[in-house]
Amino acid sequence: MLSVRNLHAGYGDSEVLHGVDLDVEKGEVVAIVGANGVGKTTLLRTLAGLIKPSAGNATFKGQEIGGLPAHRAVESGLVMVPEGRRLFPRMNVRRNLEIGAYTTRARARMNENLGTIYELFPFLREREAQLAGTLSGGQQQMCAIGRGLMAMPDLLLLDEVSLGLAPIAVKRVYEALGQIRGTGLTLVIVEQNVTQALRAADRAYVIAGGRVVVSGTGQELINNEDVRRAYLGIGLHEKEEASL
């Protein structure tokens, strides 16, 4: 579904990604992990059309998307849920969801999709008239995911979905992602919460120095002590928890 080859991108003269290669198959959950500031968000933003790559290729469903403007990426079915949720706090839940349906294709099926999202997250229906800023952190994250779904993605890129959430909210958000995955959607999750992401993922890529340095199944990476120590900063205790 997504194929990235030798992708270079950054900000002005400062290159952050020095040749990233990765693949995502239809229906997979793929995690991208790595230390703070290695360029995970930059990678997602480049795929979503918010940053123009300086070299390399990214193809989505067989079409080159590197350098396409963001709205074209969304139209083709590649949608990003940004870090920090970015809801409109003074608009109600329903309006925030509707804003996600901004392509012609999605607008035409807005009510139908809203119904599907309300089935997935019943609390959003109950609170549709409530201001988004008054939801709890976990609820806001699910609202932001719902807004992404309103754009009718084939591939959803999620940046730091669990950041700043209480453990119970993290659990709920990941349960929701499991349900979404069950609908056949393909997910790419970027997380500082490495253990959580690796547990949820079929496969994972570790980024360091602007490149993919290791890849494997989530469990392989959790179990690889060298990888854990060198790139992931997770200790043995967490490893044991992760493999439970």
- Across the beta sheet with 29-33, what order do the strands follow? 78-81, 155-159, 186-190, 29-33, 203-208, 211-217
Binding segment for Mg ion (CB under 5 A), chosen from 37-45, 119-127, 131-139, 229-237, is: 37-45
Relative orientation angle of helices 110-120 and 137-150, to the nearest 10 degrees = 150
9 SS3 class: strand
- Which one, 20 or 93, has the nearer CB to Mg ion? 20
Number of residues that bind Mg ion (CB under 5 A): 2
Under rule CB under 5 A, residue 41 binds Mg ion: yes
Scan residues 34-63 and list those touching ligand ATP (CB under 6 A): 34, 36-42
Stretch that binds Mg ion, among 32-40, 61-69, 199-207, 211-219 (CB under 5 A): 32-40
Q: For residue 103, what are the CA distances in angstroms to 78, 128, 188? A: 12, 22, 21
Between CA 70 and CA 6 the distance in angstroms is: 20
| Of 8-16, 41-49, 118-126, 233-241: span binding Mg ion (CB under 5 A) | 41-49
Residue type, 218: G
Rg for the chain, CA atoms, rounded: 18
Taking CB within 5 to 8 Å according to partner kind, which of Mg ion, ligand ATP, none is near residue 39? ligand ATP
Shortest distance, position 36 Cβ to Mg ion, whole Å? 8
The residue ranges that bind ligand ATP (CB under 6 A) are 11, 16, 34, 36-42, 192
